[in-house]
Structure 1
């Protein structure tokens, strides 16, 4: 016989031998005595960054944070995040560069036509979005921008290791003493709507990057953003008619719309005490973030020049293609914020030449004969797009987001939700802000300054006080596989197994805890007792399965998936 205890291990360890005691900050929140420094990594689809804070600074003001500012090049753009781009040497194992440095070095290599043997990855985080049931393993590969593949775990681990090393340089500059490994607790952000498999994959990538598992916490991005805004003063709000999330009374509910480069992550929180929250609507959303706009732009260029020309351009004139998508990223951010009738971008001469060689007609003549004749113009090296056409690039993303929020608000649990908190880099888009405000005029829409770093800053608060989120709703049903006596009429005949103790049915899904169950942070969620099948049995193997179904019957159903162990499975 063996007893099994299921708890909230990932977000709040049940026991941590490295923590000596728990004390309380000025706001009454708990933090851990040994967490001298909390460091946060926001590993985004489009942009990534890091931040850290010392416990003493956190006690004075939980929003205090040292956030890295990244430079895109000499005398150019400065941002709180850097592009999620990784450059790997031709051997496939040696790190070359990350972020703006990776972009710039790859551009230089492309200019010399020396880039083809290098591995250049960008926006690769979306590999993990639809990972439920795909069994991410150490052998899973990911293709770079030119189709060359490397193990996905190595790509993520190299990226995380760079961020860790980059932050440690700054931490050591700030202190005169020696930083011990046990002085830092790391917090890694992930989208709430990711599957458990994807979250587990990120944990193992961080461990491979050198972060000790006992010093690593996973935080859900909307939760981090929500916690940050619970601490903000009024002057830190970009809009919201002077509404302070921090002053909402106990029992108030608000929707958190975390709009990132890859996903739109939506959850609903209810205010508990002054600085604690509980989840009242299971997180949901979709892959409608800023990268959907990027795909629409790429399709737009393909419509102008044709897929064959565009593919040739991307392969043979990689440097020009990279400059083009970098410029579009700037134009995308500005969309809806400036007056005028056109959006003007550079149009590479190399693309004009390839089009002429492939089609034997000029690009100007082709556009004049197309449906874009009145809305798009190429003049010398400039591409001029009417604002109406440019806005259509956002159309699918905005429609999906607004439509999903409308469906959520029809839920009876949402009847008293009157506030939408927007966070994430894509939330800084004037077009997304306008779409939400127009679609929900009865709602108070709150947007913090530097919405793109709200998750990063909130992750630090969570790192000191994981109990800030007191209650969550499970997105999956969890269970294990058991063998039971075969019952005529209940179990399918093809599952009958004959043995010396009678007919049995195996691979039955034994539910440990159901989908949509409320679970409290730091508490044991369920206990169960299991018996061995044979008197001489010396061990029991527990496989944990997850299912989107509330009451799955069998573990080998296509709607169920086994949580991977990334090593030898545990026997008890």
Structure 2
């Protein structure tokens, strides 16, 4: 690893992003910044100013901001992916985003330590690792694509590391388990961890990630408006006047409802929404009976308690379902639950979680600074890389193995032209709790006595079992090619093949089992 002096943690969020940094010689003096991307939040502020001045010259796609592009990293259906202009690839959007982030980080570091050379002396621990590494390199965060100065950690693990700073307040001790519910803007990530000796962290359940963050509340709010003015009218209005839609969501829904609603009917007062104040051009798109109804109401919509609750419940109930699934998956009692992320500040969400799980989890709370939990945890990880001790595999890993086809035992269609059958040889099963950097290995011999090379084709699957590499759900990762020139030994040339699981990257290695000499090793992303 290159010599570094400063650790910078970047939380690449769906809506907002942040970063924190600290000098490794004085890690307690860390600094944290909420770094909303200039392509996002800044643009929306400008849109609000335009909307307030009733500027309607926004009825084309060129004036629409690029938002939520991080969700393109998820395995979503095309119709569920956020809009992007045809000429913009999501990787380019991420690269541009990180370029702006790099400029801001560099500015802050230079003002703090003028002698620090960026990125040479800076270590950056920021879904798909390969894509993020490539984008970070193109954005100028790295000097080399495969630089060791870039580390990855999952958001749930980073959030859990931040929660380690508050476990003493809740009387947690080594051996106790705690659940972290990271409620972001786009996704909600849930894991259960065990507190180990010396503030070590162990993952004991397979992490769950689902797109049901706070931005989905915005969609429910717009759905409510669409039911009043007509969904077709709202869709056309949004297409042609995106500034006004964003102004409505940000200035009205977020400020007056989203973070104030606590689910207590006695404390809620019906709110009147004057659509002409926020969406002056909307009436042009409303037709038929809807026009008469809205004109009679003077374009004012009353939002009562039931309406708001119906906006929240589809999103909140999905989060409750995810939490329930995680608690059921854990074989250990959960001593505490921490809600972090921007949506964790929702009083309604916290109250619902407490009501639903108060008999299963003793302590349920929102720690200090929940919004910056991920970036602060990332900083902690960058300064203490050995903190995370165990992980739970999300996939079953193995290789394609060949052996002689056996008549009467194997299916005829599986027989290759050279008389072999190719099967899936499992090395590590999904759901296994593994020590970080612990190798899983098996001994293999060449199939033919005169074989001079071996190809280890690596596959993964969400299934715990698998017989063949063309089974449903099976996906190819990479191939490790090695040369084995000692053909005078025939098939008596044992090869030790290993898979070693790091934090988020995996190493495949092949050794000469006679001499212990390494043939070759390659790396791949566990999150691909």
Pairwise TM-score range, normalised by the shorter structure = 0.7 to 0.9
- Rate the CA distance shift 1:537–1:172 in 2: closer, same or farther, 3 A: farther
CA distance in 2 between counterparts of 1:344 and 1:540 reads: 71
Structure 2 residue 293 is matched with structure 1 residue 365: yes
Q: CA deviation at 1:386?
A: 0.8
1:100 equivalent among 38, 41, 45: 41
Report if aligned partners of 1:355, 1:362 keep a CA contact under 8 Å in 2: no
CA distance in 2 between counterparts of 1:459 and 1:398 reads: 27
- Rate the CA distance shift 1:141–1:459 in 2: closer, same or farther, 3 A: farther
CA distance in 1 between counterparts of 2:376 and 2:272 reads: 35
- Rate the CA distance shift 1:360–1:352 in 2: closer, same or farther, 3 A: farther
Structure 2 residue 169 is matched with structure 1 residue 244: yes
1:494 equivalent among 410, 413, 416: 413
Structure 1 stretches of 5 or more lacking a match?
Answer: 1-15, 19-33, 69-79, 85-96, 135-139, 189-193, 234-242, 369-377
Report if aligned partners of 2:61, 2:239 keep a CA contact under 8 Å in 1: no
1:160 equivalent among 63, 82, 98: 98
Report if aligned partners of 1:313, 1:350 keep a CA contact under 8 Å in 2: no
1:432 corresponding residue in structure 2: 349
Report if aligned partners of 2:205, 2:326 keep a CA contact under 8 Å in 1: no
Would you say how many aligned residue pairs link Structure 1 and Structure 2? 468
CA distance in 2 between counterparts of 1:406 and 1:300 reads: 28
CA distance in 1 between counterparts of 2:79 and 2:7 reads: 32
1:217 equivalent among 145, 148, 151: 151
Q: CA deviation at 1:262?
A: 1.8
Structure 2 residue 121 is matched with structure 1 residue 187: no
1:504 corresponding residue in structure 2: 420
Structure 2 residue 245 is matched with structure 1 residue 329: no
Structure 2 residue 424 is matched with structure 1 residue 479: no
2:468 corresponding residue in structure 1: 554
Q: CA deviation at 1:66?
A: 1.3
2:383 equivalent among 453, 456, 464: 464
1:398 equivalent among 306, 309, 316: 316
Report if aligned partners of 1:253, 1:419 keep a CA contact under 8 Å in 2: yes
CA distance in 2 between counterparts of 1:474 and 1:269 reads: 14
CA distance in 2 between counterparts of 1:127 and 1:490 reads: 45
Structure 2 residue 187 is matched with structure 1 residue 263: yes
What TM-score does the superposition give when structure 2 sets the normalisation length?
Answer: 0.80
- Rate the CA distance shift 1:307–1:490 in 2: closer, same or farther, 3 A: farther
1:200 corresponding residue in structure 2: 130
- Rate the CA distance shift 1:357–1:40 in 2: closer, same or farther, 3 A: closer
Q: Deviations over 1:307-341 (max 9, x none)?
A: 22112101222221121222223331222289441
CA distance in 1 between counterparts of 2:10 and 2:308 reads: 33
2:433 equivalent among 518, 524, 535: 518
Q: CA deviation at 1:122?
A: 0.7
What TM-score does the superposition give when structure 1 sets the normalisation length?
Answer: 0.74
- Rate the CA distance shift 1:550–1:145 in 2: closer, same or farther, 3 A: closer
Q: CA deviation at 1:207?
A: 2.9
CA distance in 1 between counterparts of 2:330 and 2:163 reads: 26
Residue 336 of structure 1 aligns to a residue in which SS? coil
1:231 equivalent among 165, 181, 204: 165
Q: CA deviation at 1:379?
A: 4.8
Which residues of 2 match residues 16-165 of structure 1 at below 5 A? 16=1, 18=2, 34-58=3-27, 61=28, 64-68=29-33, 80-82=34-36, 97-105=38-46, 111-113=56-58, 116-117=61-62, 120-130=65-75, 145=83, 147-165=85-103
1:545 corresponding residue in structure 2: 459
- Rate the CA distance shift 1:483–1:320 in 2: closer, same or farther, 3 A: same
CA distance in 2 between counterparts of 1:541 and 1:155 reads: 37
CA distance in 2 between counterparts of 1:423 and 1:490 reads: 54
Report if aligned partners of 2:337, 2:365 keep a CA contact under 8 Å in 1: yes
Residue 67 of structure 1 aligns to a residue in which SS? strand
CA distance in 1 between counterparts of 2:263 and 2:278 reads: 31
CA distance in 1 between counterparts of 2:293 and 2:407 reads: 74
1:170 equivalent among 97, 108, 113: 108
Q: CA deviation at 1:367?
A: 9.7
- Rate the CA distance shift 1:123–1:495 in 2: closer, same or farther, 3 A: same
Q: CA deviation at 1:282?
A: 1.7
1:454 corresponding residue in structure 2: 373
RMSD across aligned positions (CA): 3.1
Q: CA deviation at 1:389?
A: 0.8
Q: Structure 1 stretch 544-553 or stretch 333-342: which is displaced more?
A: 333-342
- Rate the CA distance shift 1:535–1:487 in 2: closer, same or farther, 3 A: closer
Q: CA deviation at 1:147?
A: 4.9
- Rate the CA distance shift 1:555–1:206 in 2: closer, same or farther, 3 A: farther
Which residues of 2 match residues 293-308 of structure 1 at below 5 A? 293-308=217-232
Q: Structure 1 stretch 213-222 or stretch 356-365: which is displaced more?
A: 356-365
- Rate the CA distance shift 1:534–1:167 in 2: closer, same or farther, 3 A: same
1:275 corresponding residue in structure 2: 199
